[in-house]
Amino acid sequence: MRKTKLWSFLLGVDGILVDDVTYEEESRTLVVSARPKAGKRNRCAHCKRRCGKYDNGDGTRRWRGLDLGTTFAAIEAQAPRVRCPEHGVVVAAVPWARHGSWFTRDFEDQMAWMATNMSKSAISNLMRTTWRTVGKVIARVAKETGAKVDRFANLKKIGVDEISYRKGHRYLTVVVDHDSGRLIWATPGKDEAALNAFFDKLGEDRTAKIELVSSDAAAWYTAVIQKRCPKARLCLDPFHVVKWATEALDEVRRDVWNDLRKSGRAKLAESLKRSRYALWKNPENLTPKQSIRLAEIAQVNKPLYRAYLLKEQLREVFKIKGIHGIVLFDKWRAWARRSKIAPFVELAKNIKHHRTGIVATLAEGLTNARVEAMNTKLRLITRIAFGFHSPEPMIALAMLRLGGLCPPLPGRG
Ligand SMILES: [Zn+2]
């Protein structure tokens, strides 16, 4: 009995009886031969209901646990099958692992925690697994923790967006809770079906309680949102509006650069090419070198610098928000229209059609910072997830990192 107590403690597992402990020299693994305690035996892996034993399954199996120091550790046990009236013939549940896994629960929880806090290579090296295995593990963990919490409770303000990955060939549709700042839903694809799936999952009652939906200006979003929650106020995500201005600015920069090159001023053209990031970045994040570059642009290239100011002014609109933001927005439109800078004249013309959505955003006080931060983090996750073989582990990683689904570190919850 003392043996059982010691090993349940070391492995962090309740409800097991330990029969034997051996050390396998070749694989440098401590093998703990165990079985579930009487009350935990012969239970369906899905509903945990007590069932009749069906057969011995594939016999003895091994589950890898957290290393003990530098030594591998594994639990070895029989894996019989049971017949559940609801789920049919399934491998019986074991108290130390999730269904379908070859790792212990603690091993998987630690891996999930690491995936939200550490780099890809650090996890693979420390846990001695491949990145693909990490993907499978976190998908399992996120599925379980996601089923335990109600992510859709008290939803009032949501943001819908799409994130491209695999060099823009694939998409995820994501939904964010503006109040908590959390990611609450992500699914592959960017079409009506993807967004409809969210509202289906949310259910009619809760959908009716949604007061505000922000998204980009794509028509298909608007159509689905208007159909599914007609009472919600439609807002335009500040992130996308500022992005239009950034794109217009980049167009101006390219034109100026081309003109300089064609007129033989190669040195100036080259310096402008390097100033791309200085123009893109938010001024508060500029490095001293980039600030100097920007000052140079102000000196030698007035239209480009004015284009930069136009972009920054539009960002300012969403920082100020409220009624003052709306006034500033209308002033901005007038300024852009008269700017004689073609891409901004064009933008002023197009943005007119989105005034209602932008005014709603400003009146509701939606800030760009949060949406922009979420986009940046999601883009990073899609890059880290490269190497997973399906979108599920990537979605799991996003939910663990940004959806608050990460389990606590084993032994420290
Ligand atoms: Zn069952």
- 114-154 pLDDT, tens digit each: 999 999 899 999 999 999 999 999 999 999 999 998 989 89
State the distance from the centre of ligand 1 to the C-alpha of 45, rounded, in angstroms.
Answer: 6
Choose among 355, 361, 374, 284: nearest CA to 321.
Answer: 361
Question: For residue 141, what are its two tokens?
Answer: 């963990």
pLDDT in tens, 4-35: 888 888 888 888 999 999 999 999 999 999 99
Tokens standing for residue 165: 């990955």
Q: Other CB atoms closer than 10 Å to residue 276's CB: what's the count?
A: 15
pTM: 0.84
92 Cα–ligand 1 center, Å:
10
Tell how far the Cα of 246 is from the centroid of ligand 1, in angstroms.
54
Q: Compute, in angstroms, the gap from residue 233 CA to the centroid of ligand 1.
A: 43
* Interval 391-403 mean pLDDT: 94
pLDDT tens, position by position, 317-375: 999 989 999 999 999 999 999 999 999 999 999 999 999 999 999 998 887 677 778 88
CA of 81 relative to ligand 1 center, distance in Å: 12
102 Cα–ligand 1 center, Å: 20
State in Å: Cα 84 to ligand 1 middle: 5
- Residue 413 has a pLDDT of 67
pLDDT band of residue 291 (cuts 50, 70, 90) is: confident
Q: How many angstroms separate the alpha carbon of residue 98 from the centre of ligand 1?
A: 14
Ligand 1 center from residue 87 Cα (angstroms) = 4
pLDDT in tens, 152-180: 989 999 999 888 888 878 899 999 999 99
Ligand 1: centre distance to CA 141 (Å): 19
Q: Is the pLDDT of residue 273 over 80?
A: no
pLDDT of residue 1: 53
Q: Say how many Å lie between the CA of residue 404 and the centre of ligand 1.
A: 28
| Distance of CA 43 from the midpoint of ligand 1 (Å) | 8
Average pLDDT over residues 267-296: 81
Degrees to nearest 5, angle at CA 366 with 363 and 369 = 145
Q: How far is the CA of 264 from the centre of ligand 1 (A)?
A: 76
How far does the centroid of ligand 1 lie from the alpha carbon of residue 401, in Å?
31
pLDDT at 373: 82
| Collapsed DSSP state (helix, strand, coil) of residue 177 | strand
Q: Are 44 and 93 in contact (CB under 8 A)?
A: yes
Q: What is the mean pLDDT of the chain?
A: 90
CB-CB contact of 44 with 87 (8 Å): yes
Q: What pLDDT digit, counting tens, does each position of 358-371 carry?
A: 999 999 888 767 77
Phi, psi dihedrals of residue 207, rounded to the nearest 5°: -60, -40
Q: Is 188 exposed, middle or buried (0-12, 13-18, 19+ CB in 10 A)?
A: middle
Q: Which residue has the higher pLDDT, 24 or 3?
A: 24
CA distances from residue 5 to 16, 34, 129, 254, 373 in whole angstroms, order as listed: 9, 12, 29, 70, 47
**What's the CA-to-centroid distance between 101 and ligand 1, angstroms?**
17
Exposure class string for 310-322: b at 16+ Cβ within 10 A, else e: bbebbbebbeebe
Q: According to the model, what pLDDT value does residue 219 have?
A: 73
Rounded distance between C-alpha atoms, residue 214 and residue 317, angstroms = 17
CA of 61 to the centre of ligand 1 (A): 21
pLDDT at 24: 95
According to DSSP, the β-strands at 81-84 and 52-55 are antiparallel
CA of 305 to the centre of ligand 1 (A): 67
What pLDDT digit, counting tens, does each position of 219-253 carry? 778 889 989 998 899 999 888 899 999 999 999 99
Q: What is the Å distance from ligand 1's center to 40 Cα? A: 14
- Read off the pLDDT of residues 54-103 as tens digits, 9 standing for 90 and up: 999 999 999 999 999 899 999 999 999 999 999 999 999 999 999 999 99
Reply yes or no on whether the pLDDT at 284 is more than 90.
Answer: no
CA 2 – ligand 1 centroid, Å: 33
